[in-house]
């Protein structure tokens, strides 16, 4: 019988992320806590040794190939590191498993502009994380909600339902289902910025942390082909809310939210 490895918090979030992109913010919050476990080429002097990482020294951790290119495998526990080595049939005495403070790990890998794959080859599933996200988690900037002043004055075109970006819409829905504050949402484009989506949301009441989490999730979906800019409608202005519904039907509308009726036309 195979040994059972208990799931820690990061393991549970990796599994959750495979089901829903909405788990990304919680994974980022947990990622910098505790320790991470990494692989080094085996050498007798490395066993039970303490290594100080200094500027100018060769990067000590193993990189492997992935579909996104070279990446540094990291593991949520010693047991997961051993599981990953076993499942990839690594030769005995090929690697040494070392541990390092998680935040320092992210900082070192991110500043080297390397990506990281968490729990590579493990039964939890694996998560590939880009260098910029590692840096943002390490310095805490990923957790700082950005101010939102509502949609800027610009000529936007509402995307028709037939052209909805499926991955973006699905990821946004997953966040909306977790938070009742999101009441409606629209996706726009601009003729002069075809590679940018404008996600406009109505929140009542507005929650800056939830809005920031939505931005984090949808930006991870946009990828290289499209960037996603997320803004919130001024929820305290009935005029602004009515103007949004006048643009066209939202792709998301909370079941218990009554869409405002259009104001009567001014008499000529």
* SS (HEC) of 191-258: CCEEEEEEEEEEECCCCHHHHHHHHHHHHHHHCCCCEEEEEECCCCCHHHHHHHHHHCCCCEECCCCC
Half-sphere exposure of 52 (CA within 13 A, CB side): 2
Percent of the chain with pLDDT over 90: 45
Distance in angstroms (rounded) separating the CA atoms of residues 74 and 106: 10
Q: What is the pTM of this model?
A: 0.74
Mean pLDDT score, 176-195? 88
Q: Which residue has the higher pLDDT, 242 or 60?
A: 242
Compare 41 and 172 and report the one with higher pLDDT.
172
**224 exposed, middle or buried (CB, 10 Å; 0-12, 13-18, 19+)?**
exposed
* Consecutive H or E run containing 19: helix 9-19
In angstroms, the CA 91 to CA 61 distance is 17
Q: Which domains does the chain have, with CATH numbers?
A: 9-141 (3.40.1350.90), 157-253 (3.30.300)
Flag whether pLDDT at 196 surpasses 90: no
More confident residue, 248 or 221: 248
**CB contact burial 49-67 (16+ within 10 A = b; e otherwise):** eeeeeeeeeeebbebeeee
Name the packing angle between helices 208-222 and 166-178 (round to 10°): 160
246 and 259 Cβ atoms separated by less than 8 Å: no
| pLDDT greater than 70 at residue 116 | yes
Answer whether residue 49 shows pLDDT above 80.
Answer: no
């Amino acid at each position: 019988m195979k040994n059972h490895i208990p799931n820690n918090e990061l393991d549970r979030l990796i599994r959750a992320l495979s089901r829903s992109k909405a788990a990304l913010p919680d994974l980022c919050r947990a990622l910098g806590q505790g320790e991470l476990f990494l692989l080094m080429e085996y050498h007798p002097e490395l066993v039970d040794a303490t290594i100080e990482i200094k500027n100018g020294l060769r990067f000590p951790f193993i990189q492997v190939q992935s579909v996104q290119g070279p990446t540094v495998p990291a593991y949520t526990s010693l047991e997961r590191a051993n599981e990953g080595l076993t499942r990839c049939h690594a030769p005995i005495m090929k690697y040494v498993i070392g541990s390092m403070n998680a935040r320092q790990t992210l900082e070192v890998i991110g500043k080297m502009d390397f990506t990281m794959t968490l729990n590579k080859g493990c039964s939890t599933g694996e998560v590939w994380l880009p260098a910029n996200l590692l840096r943002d988690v390490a310095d805490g900037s990923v957790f700082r909600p950005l101010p939102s002043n509502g949609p800027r004055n610009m000529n936007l075109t509402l995307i028709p339902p037939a052209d909805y970006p499926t991955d973006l819409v699905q990821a946004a829905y997953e966040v909306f289902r977790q938070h009742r504050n999101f009441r409606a949402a629209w996706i726009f484009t601009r003729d002069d910025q075809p590679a940018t989506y404008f996600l406009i949301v109505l929140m009542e009441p507005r929650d800056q942390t939830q809005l920031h989490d939505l931005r984090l999730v949808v930006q991870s979906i946009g990828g290289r082909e499209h960037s996603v800019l997320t803004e919130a409608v001024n929820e305290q202005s009935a005029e602004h809310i009515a103007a949004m519904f006048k643009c066209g039907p939202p792709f998301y509308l909370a079941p218990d939210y009554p869409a405002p009726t259009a104001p009567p036309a001014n008499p000529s």
